[in-house]
Amino acid sequence: MEAFEVIVKAHSPKIYYFLRRMGLEHEDADEILQDVFLLLWRDLKNGHGLDTVNLRLYQHAIKKALNFLKETNTKDRLVFILKQHEGFDFGDISEMTGMEVGDVRDSFKSGLELEAAKIKGGPY
């Protein structure tokens, strides 16, 4: 249990702010964050190793956020955030989202366009 608490303390801020960047309000991000760590706890109890903690946290957060948001441009925004803000490469993003690498690249380009429109004050 003590090791899990260390994981929670170490990873909570980055997953929380990832969820916020996805467009969730504080209360929703906080609730989803709790769900993400419950899912991770189950993963660890089922024998998944500590070497995949970071990927599993993002996989669970992505799934929960997408289910919550259900927006048309959510995947593009998600890929943009994972690449630009979280520093993942296209291969890792593909693994986390279940998308093909080529589709991840396309979503990233679309995400860049969405971000540019947002900066210019266009519709988001």
The mean pLDDT of 56-81, rounded to a whole number, is 86
Q: Report the C-alpha gap between 17 and 24 in whole angstroms.
A: 9
| pLDDT of the residue at 15 | 97
pLDDT, tens only, 78-100: 899 999 999 999 999 999 999 99
pLDDT-based confidence at residue 71 (cuts at 50, 70, 90): low
The token pair at 52 is 């995949």
Beta carbons of 57 and 4 less than 8 angstroms apart: no
| pLDDT of the residue at 18 | 95
| pLDDT of the residue at 121 | 63
Residue with tokens 């998600």: 78
pLDDT, tens only, 11-62: 999 999 999 998 888 999 999 999 999 999 999 898 887 788 999 999 999 9
Question: Dihedral (C-alpha) 71, 21, 28, 47: value to the nearest 10 degrees?
Answer: 100
Name the packing angle between helices 53-69 and 90-97 (round to 10°).
Answer: 60
